[in-house]
Each structure stands twice: as structure tokens, then as C-alpha cells.
Structure 1
Amino acid sequence: MIDNDEWLVVIDRQKVFAQSDWSTWACADGTYYAADGPFRRLAAAYGERVAYTRYIAPDEPRDAWVDYFKDWPQFLVAPDDPMYDFTDETAELAEGHPVVSRTTFGKWCPELKEAIGGARKIALCGVATDCCVLLTALAAADDGVRVRLVADACAGSTPENQELALNTMRLFSPLIEVTDSAALLGSD
């Protein structure tokens, strides 16, 4: 069940992670789209208490990011590049909700805390489970926030990496609870 003071945080449901016909960052085997149904049900259930995040490349990479973008130069584009747009179904649901854009994989930051009104309970969904979702979950939990990771509303870079990330987060129970949308929403 959803608590009245819990927010849904939707991580990086963007074209760059969904569209495998052009993006090497896309979730493998169409798994991004397998999470659509659970994501939509969660967004509806949380109503106004939903915040969205977007990954954007830095204007100028610094430190370790310099070497990272040597391997991924095609993603070093302006924040308003269409590759960093939400997918169509996500954009529609995100309208009117807070959106936090970050140049880091982890999205737990002062701007996100403000966007969710300082809530100390969150449910997380989005992509990629083994990157941005994982780093956000760990940072929020480390900050003392109760995190419920909704596994069927997430997608990993590969199905194998999805399972590795979920198992990693299970190590942090009870700070992070790995669950699914049916359990969270009280449905079958």
C-alpha cells in the first residue's frame, strides 16, 4: 500500500534509454517498454506526488567524466537535444510535475529533495536499474529515506544487469525494499 506521505520518483524515462535503433545506451531487448504498464499504474496511483528526473550530459566534462565521454562522445550533446527528451508516454504523464535534470547518474540531490517536499519515503522506478536507479536508491537510503524499489517498473541495461542491481539493493534491506507494482498497489 502507498503511504500518504510517500512520493514516486521516476528516474530517466528518456528516449536515449529506450530507443535501441540508434542509442547504445538503450535498455536491451525492449525491456524499457516492458516497464510501461507498471509505470503508468504507479503514476496514476501517486497522483500529484510524482517527480521525474532526466539525465543530461555536462557542458564540459570534468575529472573522471572526461575519460568516460571519450568512450561515449555521441552522448555529449546539449541538454535540450531530443535524445534527452522523455519518451512520449512519459512526457504526457510528467506534464505538471516537478522535473529535475542532472549531469550525474545518481539523482538524489537538494533539487530532488525540494521537488518532493522533503519527503522521507519514496518509491523508485525508471531506468537503468543498474546505473541511475541504483545510485539514486543508495544515496537516498544513505540519507535515511525509506526507499521502495518497484522492480517491474524498472529496466536494466540488460536483463542480467537488472537482476544484479536488484540483488545489490536487496543487500540494503530494510533501508531499501525491492518490491513490485502489484504488492505496492495492492492488486494482483
Structure 2
Amino acid sequence: MSVALVVVDMQRVFADADSAWATPGYASASAGVRRLLPAFDGATVYTRFVAPRQPEGAWIPYYADWPDQLRPEDDPIWDVTAEFAVRDAPVVSAPTFGKWGPDLAAATGGADRLVVTGVSTDCCVLSTALAAADAGRSVIVPADACAGLSEADHRRALDAMALYAPLITVSDVDAVLAMMGA
């Protein structure tokens, strides 16, 4: 069974404490992801949330609340943070919370099992994990390599994903490393 690491939205917009979209536990999630990276050399994919050029549908009122985030895809706020930008791995960008789709499926090389990490647990990680599991991928979410907008939101998202067992398994970094023989 092939395994890929999906690092969801570890970007400046979520890391910067001054950002309207700051994720308070970003540093903790980052530490967990960095621990996993050596075990997934050549099997890691990063995702980036980017604003749409022109919001449509339900995104119109969403961006009415966040007009300062309607920035072009090449704006530095959407950059993967420095500790991950130096990695040689594919990056999938999408203007959606969930990143699962043909681009991410192709970037993961058709891996049967995905280890999904990143921020925020209660938004983009949740949306990506559910869609990947629904598409037939086995998903492992190491809780200590993710962070939510609050600890309560993080926990609620993990609890919701746990309801999808055995399609989704909520775990931790140590268990994933043991699974990988690292």
C-alpha cells in the first residue's frame, strides 16, 4: 500500500499572528509536520488556499466579510512558510477549503493511504480528509500535526473525522512514524 503525506495550507496567512486568519496553534502543527517529513521523502504534497479571482456563489458573501483577503494567487500571504518552502515537493493550490480533487489525487501519485496534516483542522484539513476518504483513500490524521482556530474547534473536527472510521483514523505523529518504520 502506498502512502503520501499531504501538508494542508501551512502558509504565511495562517502563520502570521497579525493576520486576520491566524491559526493560534500553527507553530505546534508545524513542529509535528516537520517531524513527519523525513519519513515521507519523495512522497509529500503541499496545498495552498488561495482566493478566487472572482468569488462566485456562496463565496461572494464569504469574501464580503473578508475583502482584504481577496488577493491574487501570487501575493506573498499565500506562500507556504519558509520551513516548508525549501522542500522539493509538489504544491496544489485551490480557492476551496477542501483540496481533494484530480490535482491532489495526481500529485499524491494515486497513493492508497494519505496522512493529512496542517491547518486548520476545523476547516481545510477536515474538508480535505472527508473528500479524500469519500473518494476511497484511507486517511490518517495525526492530531499533533494539525491545529484549529481554537483547541475546542480542533477537538470537534478531530471528533467529527473519527466518526468516519475506518475510512479516517485520528492518530498522532509517533504512531505514523512507527507505521512508516521511522
TM-score by length of 1: 0.92
1:97 aligns with 89
**Residue 7 of structure 1: which of 4, 9, 14 is its match?**
4
> Percent identity over the alignment?
49
**Residue 35 of structure 2: which of 31, 37, 41 is its match?**
41
Any unmatched runs of 5+ in structure 1? none
1:85 is the counterpart of 2:79: yes
1:75 is the counterpart of 2:72: no
2:53 aligns with 59
d(CA) in 1 for partners of 2:30, 2:17: 16
Which amino acid letter does the alignment assign opposite residue 82 of structure 1?
Answer: P
d(CA) in 2 for partners of 1:184, 1:67: 39
**Residue 114 of structure 1: which of 106, 122, 125 is its match?**
106
Which amino acid letter does the alignment assign opposite residue 86 of structure 2?
Answer: E
1:24 aligns with 20
Per-residue CA deviation, residues 53-75 of structure 1 (Å, 9 max, x unaligned), is: 00000000001100100000111
TM-score by length of 2: 0.95
Size of the aligned set, in residue pairs, is 179
The runs of at least 4 consecutive aligned structure 1 residues that moved more than 3 Å come to none
1:145-160 map, 5 Å: 145-160=137-152
Deviation at 1:154, TM superposition (A): 0.5
**Residue 173 of structure 2: which of 174, 181, 186 is its match?**
181
Deviation at 1:44, TM superposition (A): 1.1
SS state of the match for residue 125, structure 1?
strand
Deviation at 1:36, TM superposition (A): 2.2
Which amino acid letter does the alignment assign opposite residue 17 of structure 1?
Answer: F
d(CA) in 2 for partners of 1:62, 1:38: 35
SS state of the match for residue 52, structure 1?
strand
d(CA) in 2 for partners of 1:117, 1:90: 20
1:142 aligns with 134
1:133 aligns with 125
d(CA) in 1 for partners of 2:109, 2:162: 27
Deviation at 1:118, TM superposition (A): 1.3
Per-residue CA deviation, residues 23-59 of structure 1 (Å, 9 max, x unaligned), is: 111112xx10012222112111111000110000000
Deviation at 1:178, TM superposition (A): 0.2
Which amino acid letter does the alignment assign opposite residue 6 of structure 1?
Answer: V
d(CA) in 2 for partners of 1:86, 1:140: 22
d(CA) in 2 for partners of 1:27, 1:115: 26
d(CA) in 1 for partners of 2:133, 2:105: 13
